């Protein structure tokens, strides 16, 4: 099995200005393609350090994959270092040069020598044309090893990795052990509950060579089932048998089995299939729920409108919530979110309404209503109920979790799934 080292380049990664999302995406894509990622390293924009680390990694793995340092500024040193290590000259790739000129012409921007220098490539490298940016990728196949350099801009890197690099690597390293992988996405369930209470004993599948990983996120857990085998058919069969076993236990709790499909996309499909329209009434989430729903193309087919009612006054003005209700129970209460959902549905004419009000934090909490307390209400043509959530001390995490739980509550309710997120009870 071909071994891989991922090397991310840039001072911004070392000091924390930029999160290294590229390394995780590269690792996932290469692992799914049958490669073994041995290490992930980060090195700054220093010529001596970069030269030393590339030399070290190149000496010990089959594939060295670099990201970053291919831009037009003085601290972008990757090409120069690679030229010194492997070649003596740079060449101008005319296709890349014309592509750069066309980008700047279309944007009516001046072209500087540093921009055109991005078309210069170490002559022993193959050019990987990048239609989404000015920095091309590069590939060197030497001594039964491969070195790849990709731009650091994430969407440019992903395009080149999936469309250009992995297909080439799979041809060069044709003796890969087949790896079958399947993802199952859940929301609104704790990792421990999924593992211990709902899925239970999986020892027979583990002993047969399968793996099950729990990949947690805010109010979400993705299950990754995998199996490796020299025979692709056997690997796929093992994964499918494991999948069927899990489906038999938690089928209704899995919102998608597609790696890149989102919860809001699934909710949108359900609303569209049922010819239902939706409105939102948000306080603590500040419009985040509506924003998430409208990230999906075509969401105008089911999203009616949204109300951001942050102040007590706006809850009355926009949704007709009685000021006496707020005075008696407080803005963060079952009574008020129920009134918010009813008011939003009535004033918008939407079939479904979701309302959220909470103490996002880090201040503003009391003994009775601590930071992290969120009330959510859902109104459908059949019912109206509220849920009480008690989340964390972190403001942004509370907003994110509230949105995910609201979407998952809506999904389960519309599909008639009796178990609500985290086993919460409906309150009317």
Rounded Cα distance, 181 and 199, in Å: 18
Q: What is the DSSP letter of 196?
A: I
The predicted pLDDT at position 87 comes to: 82
pLDDT of 216-247, one tens digit each? 999 999 999 999 887 889 999 999 999 999 99
Look up the pTM and report it. Answer: 0.81
Distance, CA of 161 to CA of 312 (rounded, Å): 50
- CA neighbor of 283 nearest in space, from 327, 324, 330: 330
Under-70 pLDDT residues of the chain: 1
Handedness of CA 184, 185, 191, 197 (dihedral sign): negative
Q: What percentage of residues in the chain have a pLDDT greater than 70?
A: 100
Q: What is the mean pLDDT of the chain?
A: 95
Element (H, E) at 279: strand 278-282
Q: What phi, psi does 49 have (nearest 5°)? A: -65, -45
Query: What does the angle CA 177 – CA 181 – CA 183 come to, to the nearest 5 degrees?
Result: 170
pLDDT of residue 2: 81
- To the nearest 10°, report the CA torsion of 128, 132, 134, 138: -20
pLDDT the model gives residue 32: 80
Instruction: State residue 175's pLDDT score.
Output: 73
Domains of the chain: 3-172 (3.40.980.10), 178-256 (3.30.70.2860), 263-423 (3.90.950.20)
CB atoms within 10 A of CB 186: 22
Q: Helix or strand or coil: residue 15?
A: coil
């Amino acid at each position: 099995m071909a071994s891989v080292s991922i090397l991310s380049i840039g001072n911004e990664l070392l000091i924390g200005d930029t999160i290294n999302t590229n390394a995780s995406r590269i690792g996932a894509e290469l692992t799914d393609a049958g490669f073994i990622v041995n290490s992930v390293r980060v090195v700054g924009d220093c010529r001596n350090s970069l030269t030393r680390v590339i030399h070290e990694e190149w000496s010990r793995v089959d594939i060295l994959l670099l990201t970053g340092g291919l831009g037009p500024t003085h601290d972008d040193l990757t090409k120069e270092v690679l030229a010194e290590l492997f070649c003596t000259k740079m060449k101008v790739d005319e296709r890349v040069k014309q592509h750069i000129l066309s980008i700047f012409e279309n944007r009516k921007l001046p072209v500087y020598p540093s921009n055109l220098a991005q078309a210069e490539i170490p002559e022993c490298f193959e050019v990987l044309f990048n239609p989404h940016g000015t920095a091309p990728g590069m590939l060197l196949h030497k001594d039964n090893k491969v070195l790849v350099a990709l731009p650091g801009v994430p969407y440019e890197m992903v395009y080149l990795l999936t469309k250009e690099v992995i297909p080439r690597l799979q041809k060069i390293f044709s003796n890969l052990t087949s790896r079958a992988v399947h993802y199952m996405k859940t929301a609104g369930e704790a990792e421990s509950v999924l593992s211990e209470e709902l899925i239970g004993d999986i020892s027979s599948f583990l002993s047969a060579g399968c793996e099950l990983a729990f990949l947690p996120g805010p109010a979400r857990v993705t299950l990754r089932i995998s199996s490796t085998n020299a025979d692709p058919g056997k690997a796929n069969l093992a994964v499918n048998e494991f999948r069927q076993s899990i489906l038999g236990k938690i089928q209704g709790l899995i919102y998608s089995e597609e790696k890149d499909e989102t919860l809001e996309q699934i909710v949108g499909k359900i609303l569209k299939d049922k010819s239902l329209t939706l409105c939102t009434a948000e306080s603590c989430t500040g419009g985040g729920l509506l924003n998430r729903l409208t990230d999906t193309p075509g969401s105008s087919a089911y999203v009616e409108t949204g109300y951001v009612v942050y102040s007590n006054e706006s809850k009355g003005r926009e949704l007709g919530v009685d000021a006496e209700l707020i005075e008696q129970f407080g803005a963060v209460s079952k009574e008020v979110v129920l009134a918010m959902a009813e008011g939003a549905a009535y004033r918008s004419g939407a079939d479904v309404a979701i309302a959220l009000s909470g103490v996002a934090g880090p201040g503003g909490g009391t003994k009775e209503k601590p930071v992290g307390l969120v009330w959510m209400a859902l109104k459908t043509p059949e019912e109206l109920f509220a849920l009480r959530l008690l989340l964390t001390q972190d403001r942004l995490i509370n907003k994110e979790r509230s949105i995910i739980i609201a979407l998952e509550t809506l999904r389960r309710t519309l599909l008639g799934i009796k178990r609500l997120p985290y086993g919460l009870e409906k309150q009317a």
